[in-house]
């Protein structure tokens, strides 16, 4: 097992560090930035179905559901196709409206999640075209779907999903870009800019991994916190959810992720000097809005840990701790902002003496309901 961990103390840490290379594996042979092309067999073969889609319904569970939420923002902005994201477990039992012109995208790392599988069967029975985004090759979901694209992240052993999440987002971004090209919903220059940006994302993820020491330092301060709040807006709202999920999964600290502006409708009541609030505040996106959310936390004495773009000055003034990440476009930022949050959860869990790779009560794949 030590050999399999490749010199890392845990599979989770190894998998976090694999992200620059597995994201490359995900887009290799598919993303051709110089030629302005994206080629994915499962998408090309079914391009008409995607282009005729009146709606995309994404079904998934857990971290894969969070990747689906990021994809909702990306698909709607890039392709203008309406998207709904559903927990597979809810979708399957609520007699959902499924039309023949709906495209259902099922996201699953393991390809074995029972609820996701049931949602796929239901969608198929109702005549929808079902596309899978799976990591495990030959898995049940990859076989049950009409077509799909693998994430090529390699085996993910740590129960808390890390590299599966970022590679799912990579695949979904490529699909959205391919459709945007066919539909003409992005200008040529913006389309090319995204292709180029995606190609260099692994380098930026590598740079984001340099936040490890900072994450460790912050972990030491907050490892005994009973609660933690994660806030983000837009593309980084799902990242806030994912950050909170990572923390609760492996450190057993109660954590909540929230869209930053919704804070005033509830969570703000919890904020006092004992409450660490992790705010995802990159320069692109709704920066000014986030800054005012941070001010609201500060005036209630919350402890602010902010993930900011390198060189940020405004948030630095307000936050107790800052974690600097490289700049990228708003739409691709989840691939970067997620990294320090993974590291923060990892270090907190290690410092609390938790079993990082096999947290209590959780399973890597949930094959029963
Ligand atoms: C379990 C795992 C999570 C995962 C979820 C969905 O809860 O512990 O890490 O996100 O299942 O799994 P899937 O394999 O369908 O992505």
**pLDDT tens string 233-254:** 999 999 999 999 999 999 999 9
Residues 155 and 171: their CA atoms lie apart, in Å, by 17
Is the C-beta atom of 364 inside 6 A of ligand 1?
yes
End-to-end CA separation in angstroms for the chain: 30
**160 CA distance to ligand 1 middle (Å):** 8
Query: How many C-beta atoms surround the C-beta of residue 317 within 10 A?
Result: 11
Tokens of 353: 């003496």
pLDDT value at position 369?
Answer: 85
C-alpha of residue 110 to centroid of ligand 1, in Å:
7
Residue 51 has, within 13 A of its CA and on its CB side, a CA count of: 14
Pick the residue whose CA is nearest to atom 8 on ligand 1: 364
pTM of the entire predicted model: 0.97
In the chain, alpha helices (H): 11-17, 19-27, 41-44, 47-51, 62-79, 88-91, 114-125, 140-144, 163-183, 188-208, 212-222, 237-251, 287-298, 314-318, 334-351
Alpha carbon separation from 52 to 85, 124, 211 (Å, rounded): 19, 17, 43
Q: Report the chain's mean pLDDT, rounded to a whole number.
A: 96
How far is the C-alpha of 274 from the C-alpha of 253, rounded, in Å? Answer: 13
Q: Which tokens hold the place of 61?
A: 């569970």
Distance separating alpha carbons of residues 362 and 340, to the nearest angstrom: 23
**Lowest-confidence segment of 107-121, 258-272, 318-332 by average pLDDT:** 258-272
Query: Is any atom of ligand 1 closer than 6 Å to the C-beta of 167?
Result: no
Give how far the C-alpha of residue 132 lies from the chain's centroid of Cα atoms, to the nearest Å. 17
**Predicted confidence (pLDDT) per residue in 273-314, tens digit:** 999 999 999 998 889 999 999 999 999 999 999 999 999 999
* Whole-angstrom distance, CA of residue 369 vs CA of residue 367: 7
269 lines ligand 1 (CB under 6 A): no
| Residue closest to 230 by CA, chosen among 266, 263, 272, 274 | 263
- For 267-278, write each residue's pLDDT tens digit: 888 999 999 999
Confidence of residue 231 (pLDDT cuts 50, 70, 90): very high
pLDDT at 262 over 90: yes
Q: Look at residue 53 and give its three-state secondary structure.
A: coil
| pLDDT on residue 34 | 95
Rounded distance between C-alpha atoms, residue 276 and residue 223, angstroms: 10
Instruction: Determine the Cα–Cα distance for residues 83 and 70; give it in Å rounded to an integer.
Output: 11
364 is catalytic: yes
* pLDDT score for 285: 84
Ligand 1 within 6 A of CB of 113: yes
For 119, the token pair is 């949602």
Query: Residue 19 Cα, ligand 1 centroid: separation in angstroms?
Result: 18
ipTM passes above 0.95: yes
* Residues with Cβ within 8 Å of residue 10, at least 6 apart in sequence: 158, 346, 350, 356, 357
- What six digits make up the tokens of 85? 């994201």
Task: Give the whole-angstrom CA distance, residue 344 versus residue 306.
Answer: 12
CA 99 – CA 222 distance, rounded (Å): 48
CA 336 / ligand 1 centre spacing (Å): 21
Q: Write out the two tokens for 173.
A: 């971004």
Torsion of CA 267, 269, 273, 277, to 10 degrees: 10
Mean pLDDT on 14-41: 97
**Which pLDDT does position 57 carry in this prediction?**
98
Per-residue pLDDT, 1? 79
CA nearest ligand 1 atom 15, residue: 108
Hey, whose CA ends up nearest to atom 5 of ligand 1?
62
């Amino acid at each position: 097992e030590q050999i399999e961990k490749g010199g890392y103390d845990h599979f989770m840490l190894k998998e976090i560090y694999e992200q620059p290379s597995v994201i490359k594996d995900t887009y290799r042979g598919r993303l051709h930035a110089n030629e302005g092309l994206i080629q994915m067999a499962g998408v090309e073969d079914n391009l008409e179905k995607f282009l005729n889609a009146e709606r995309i319904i994404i079904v998934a569970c857990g971290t894969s559901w969070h990747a689906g939420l990021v994809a909702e923002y990306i698909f709607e902005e890039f392709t203008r196709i309406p998207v709904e994201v559903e927990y597979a477990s809810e979708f399957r039992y609520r007699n959902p409206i499924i039309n023949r012109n709906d495209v259902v995208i099922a996201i699953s790392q393991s390809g074995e999640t029972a609820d996701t599988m049931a949602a796929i069967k239901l969608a198929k029975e109702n005549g929808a075209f079902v596309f899978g985004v799976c990591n495990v090759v030959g898995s049940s979901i990859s076989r049950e779907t009409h077509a799909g694209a693998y994430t090529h992240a390699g085996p993910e052993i740590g129960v808390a999903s890390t590299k599966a999440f970022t590679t799912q987002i990579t695949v979904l971004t490529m699909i959205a870009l391919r459709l945007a090209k066919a539909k003409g919903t992005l200008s040529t220059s913006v389309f090319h800019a995204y292709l180029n940006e995606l190609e260099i994302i692994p380098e930026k993820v590598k740079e984001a991994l340099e936040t490890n020491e900072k994450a460790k330092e912050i972990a030491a301060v907050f490892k005994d916190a009973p609660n933690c709040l994660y806030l983000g807006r837009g593309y980084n709202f799902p990242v806030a959810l994912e950050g909170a999920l990572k923390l609760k999964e492996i450190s057993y600290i109660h954590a909540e992720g929230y869209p930053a502006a919704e804070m005033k409708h509830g969570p703000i009541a919890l904020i006092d000097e004992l409450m660490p609030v992790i705010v995802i505040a990159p320069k692109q996106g709704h920066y000014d809005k986030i800054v005012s959310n941070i001010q609201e936390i500060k005036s209630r004495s919350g402890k602010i840990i902010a993930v900011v773009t390198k060189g940020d000055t405004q948030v630095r003034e307000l936050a107790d701790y800052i974690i600097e990440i490289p700049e990228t476009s708003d739409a691709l930022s989840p691939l970067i902002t997620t990294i320090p949050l993974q590291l923060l959860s990892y270090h907190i869990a290690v410092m609390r003496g938790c079993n990082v790779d096999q947290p209590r009560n959780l399973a890597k794949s949930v094959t029963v309901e």
